[in-house]
Amino acid sequence: MPFSSQHLKAQAQAMGFNLVGITQAVSSPTLDAYYRWIDAGMHGKMGYLAREDRRIRRDDLNNIVDGAQSIVMVGLDYRSRIVPLSLLHDPTRGRIASYAWQLDYHDVIEPRLEDLASWMQAQIGEATSHKVYVDTGAVLERSHAQQAGMGFIGKNTMLIHPRRGSYFFLGEIISTIEFDSYDTPHRETMCGTCTRCLQACPTDAFPEPYVLDARRCISYHTIENKAWIDRELRAGFGNWVYGCDVCQEVCPFQRFSQATDDMSFYPPDDDAVAPHLTTLLTLTNDSFKARYANSPIYRIKRKRLVRNACIAVGNSGDRQFIPYLIQLLYDDEAIVRGHAAWALWQLMGRDALKQLQALYDREDDAEVRAEIEALVP
């Protein structure tokens, strides 16, 4: 017998989820657009997105859960406190995207979704199968959420709820359970003639509305890109060191975003929002682990965070950082040495020649040498 969708939604809300929608477990209507995006290479170095095994699962959800009938989509608000712009735009601090100010959301949402799935199973009292994902599965989450009536996909490619904005996490249960009713898909878009997000993007990452070229996106580069950051993009990063909120924060629908009740996402202090760049430049592997072990930032490891901090320092125009950068020219990680060299050049120009020449002479990493060659004409 089909399960009551109202019963499920009441339980999900009782468990703290702010949005719930249910849609049938059929493939996403935006698959073709997604594959055009992949074929154009806009996924950058996220090669896993193009993998055949993921394609097979994405195209047919039965390859994730055999006999899948339904997708229960949930949303959990993460907007916490309003932070003064003076803190966010302080060039001596590195800015962190607001979803990462506290606990890793996977650790909050996944167990809660498993509890919800177990609850359904217990209610039904017969064997069912399910799979829980929180942005890790081979599924087009935002599209399925739109199909589940939870909002529209904006020109910034985010899922936007017209009365809640887009500061919420998504998660889903793909299940063999059939429901007595399914939600009506949301209108495809409500952006109208607005183009705020497209214009505000600091690195011009939208080649057209609804299409984000990850290869130009600060969020992609600071989090996903393990390699060197394109030199021509670095100035646009400003003081972002982990993610970027710009195309969400300028969206007019964001005025409806709700502060979360979940203290898991409230930053304990200003340093969780925008740590001092000196703190980031002087991180060791141990201090990085101590500071970020429970944060989503942990997955990028110390090397990438310090690389990102070097870019923010290079953009700061603040010469107080020069001694820290000179120290990083001796870092064990080539990518850190190279980005520190770039930042030093931004702050000192030709006055950095002596340090850069010394680094060049002792350097055996080809990419660091190439970085210096590109900097010094």
CA-nearest of 364, 375, 270, 276 to 320 is: 276
Verify whether residue 364 is a known catalytic residue: no
Contact with ligand SF4 (CB under 6 A): which of 12, 109, 113, 246?
A: 246
Stretch that binds ligand SF4, among 37-45, 74-82, 249-257, 320-328 (CB under 6 A): 249-257
The residue (of 204 and 373) whose beta carbon lies closer to ligand SF4 is 204
**Which CB sits closer to ligand SF4, 246 or 368?**
246
Q: Which amino acid, one-letter code, is at 325?
A: L
Min CB(210)–ligand SF4 separation in Å: 9
Among 75, 151, 154, 314, binds ligand SF4 (CB under 6 A): 154
Q: Which is nearer to ligand SF4, 89 or 319 (CB)?
A: 89
Would you report the helix, strand and coil content of the chain in percent, each value rounded to 5? 50, 10, 40
Q: Which residue is nearest to ligand SF4 (CB)?
A: 154
211 scored as a contact of ligand SF4 (CB under 6 A):
no
Dig out the tokens for 22 from the structure: 């249910």
Name which position in 145, 247, 277, 336 contacts ligand SF4 (CB under 6 A).
247
Interaction of residue 194 with ligand SF4, rule CB under 6 A: yes
In this chain, which of 205, 309, 313, 334 binds ligand SF4, going by CB under 6 A?
A: 205
Q: Which of 135, 180, 245, 262 is catalytic?
A: 135
Q: Among 80, 156, 222, 239, which residue sits at the site for ligand SF4 (rule: CB under 6 A)?
A: 156
Dihedral sign from CA coordinates of 260, 74, 135, 254:
negative
Which residue in 195, 185, 203, 98 sits closest to 154, CA to CA?
A: 195
Amino acid present at 8? L
Phi first, then psi: what are they for 357, rounded to 5°? Answer: -65, -40
Q: Render 159-225 in DSSP notation, one character per residue.
A: EEBTTTBS-EEEEEEEES--BS--PPPPPS---TT--HHHHH-TT---SBTTB--GGG-HHIIIII-
Neighbouring CB atoms inside 10 A of 294's CB total 12
Interface residue with ligand SF4, options 76, 139, 191, 233 (CB under 6 A):
191
Binding site for ligand SF4 (CB under 6 A): 154-156, 191, 194-197, 201-203, 205, 212, 217-219, 244, 246-247, 250-253
Give catalytic residues, as residue numbers: 135
